[in-house]
Structure 1
């Protein structure tokens, strides 16, 4: 009841009607400006979001084991400036651009019949060696043109950063077949310059020459360095392999016989030294025995002389004291000698039987 009564008692004056009309005009202006600002705000927000999206799409990444050249995704143009070769990381390359990726790490190419490995692989190479030579160095079997052989080789290369634009201009993105062809030509050249014997007598030297030749060829033609090369296997024909085995067995037998001869010579030298030592010992023993005999004989003679001199002195004193002549002294010596003999073996005063 009260609100109705209040409304009935309120009267609108002319001044109040004028103020109310002004407020209605302001409200209409605010609504109009708000309606105009909403599209502008939406457009600004949309432009901001699109800018963020485009900015995010202007970046690309490379792995730590990769090089990259920037290519335009629309026109296909590639930046071939050597200073603009990118390495691993996140890079701002502008919108509608992407990286052409090249390996930064060492990459393996192998010529073998092994299964798997995760690298570029070709079958073993069928080559031919140079002609054989005689032991004196003169040309031997020159008409045969050497021996056919199959070799398995593996090598690792890495691209040169500054030459990647040249590399891309020459090969594009398909280059491993060309690298394999360069390596095959270099290996063929080295193989034809070697005799068959060198492949088992100086295999390390052959491997080093192959490495140098392949590195030179790929560096000149492919703008890359060959860091390592491994000569995995060398295979001749079965008949020639058997001949090689027999030759090696004979050479090993020769070496064994030489060692046996050396052992025999050392043993005989030991016997000679032992005999010489034994002879020296016997000579020393003989000289020592001689000297000992001489010393003992000299001592015995000196003792005998001293004993006889002593006896002569005392016999002379006895003879003088007893006033004996020589006959009495000789009788005394005789009786003394008889008394010194054992009683069971001495006979005195009995004539011999038959006398």
Structure 2
């Protein structure tokens, strides 16, 4: 008979030692179950983890763990590191959640003018080198990145004058991005992006710089307008030449057309006259006139040929008006 076959009153009638043994066994199994469940630890999504002994505090630096659940024992836990893009922002504006507020980057340019820069940096740690990150910087790696970046960016601003950032902003940003890569690469991170989105000077220098830039832009605008005027004048001269050439070509073409037409008409008329002459000559030679029976056949005279021609012309007309004179 098993335990489940006991009735309640029978269970209570058991001896105290038996009841105590059953309770201890149940509690032991319950504790073991809880410990087994607690032995599973999780590395969250978009993170990588290092295993740490919760009793001794020792961190296993032999390998890192990807997101997932692992049976590592209830006495162990994971130190988690984000593997997504992280932001470091040197600015006074409000920052997004999880980003430290550091304030503007303060430095001096090549001429010694004091400047304040708004800079945003995006970086990503190399999860395969997570043990090295913890060995060198523990969980304070971002503070190390901030310190190193602040010093490197302050030094690079000493290499150019502030007006260069106005005139050649893209080049300045590329140089700062390259410095960011050089700083983070030995510290097991990739500098994914850098944006220089704000530059401030002391008021007197900034006003002077604005006036200088406005004057330079006005000069560049005047030069551009002058160049545009010169090109426009050259274009108008070329256009006038083209128009004149077109007029000459058109006039020559019309003259050639009229000459060709006149030559064609003259040639046609000449050919017509020649053909008519040949026809009349043929008729005069072939058509014989018998004056009387006693006379021999004679060739047509000129007057007879002209009369013959008039008769042919009248024959070719469908209707004609005649005036008959007696």
In structure 2, the CA distance between the partners of 1:150 and 1:37, relative to structure 1 (3 Å rule), is: same
**What is the TM-score of this pair, normalised by structure 1?**
0.60
Matched, 1:54 2:54: no
Residue 44 of structure 2, aligned match among 59, 63, 66: 63
Deviation at 1:57, TM superposition (A): 0.8
Q: Tell me if the contact between 1:120 and 1:176 (Cα under 8 Å) persists in the aligned partners.
A: no
What is the CA–CA distance in structure 2 between the aligned matches of 1:117 and 1:270, rounded to whole Å? 57
User: Could you tell me which of 213, 217, 223 is aligned with 2:179?
Assistant: 213
CA separation of 1:232 and 1:41: change in aligned 2, threshold 3 A: same
Residue 76 in structure 1 maps to residue 41 in structure 2:
no
Residue of structure 2 in register with 1:258 after alignment: 223
* Corresponding residue number in structure 2 for 1:180: 146
Deviations 1:184-222 (A, max 9, x none): 1110121112233321222222212212212222332x3
- Residue 152 of structure 1: aligned partner: 118
Distance 1:40 1:128, change over 3 A: same
The separation in 1 between residues aligned to 2:21 and 2:254, in whole angstroms, is: 134
Deviation per residue, 1:157-207 (Å, 9 max, x gap): 222223222222333323332221100111012111223332122222221
Please give the per-residue CA displacement for 1:283-338, whole angstroms capped at 9, x wherever unaligned.
9869989xx9xx9xxxxxxxxxxxxxxxxxxxxxxxxxxxxxxxxxxxxxxxxxxx
The yes-or-no answer on 1:114 pairing with 2:93 is yes
Change (3 A) 1:188 1:48: same
Counterpart position of 2:77: 98
Retained in 1: the 8 A contact 2:94–2:101? Answer: no
Alpha carbons of 1:38 and 1:186: their partners in 2 closer, same or farther (altered >3 Å)?
same
Distance 2:33 2:230 in 1: 93
Cα offset for 1:240?
2.4
Retained in 2: the 8 A contact 1:146–1:196? no
Secondary structure of the 1:121 match is: coil
Question: 1:278 Cα shift?
Answer: 6.6
Equivalents in 2 of 1:270, 1:44: separation in Å?
105
Q: Secondary structure at the match of 1:108?
A: strand
User: 87, 105, 110: which one pairs with 1:125?
Assistant: 105
Deviation (angstroms), 1:44: 4.3
CA contact (8 A) 1:182 1:214 kept: no
Structure of higher CA gyration radius = 1
Q: Quote the residue 1:3 is aligned against.
A: none
Structure 2 CA distance for aligned equivalents of residues 56 and 66 of structure 1: 22
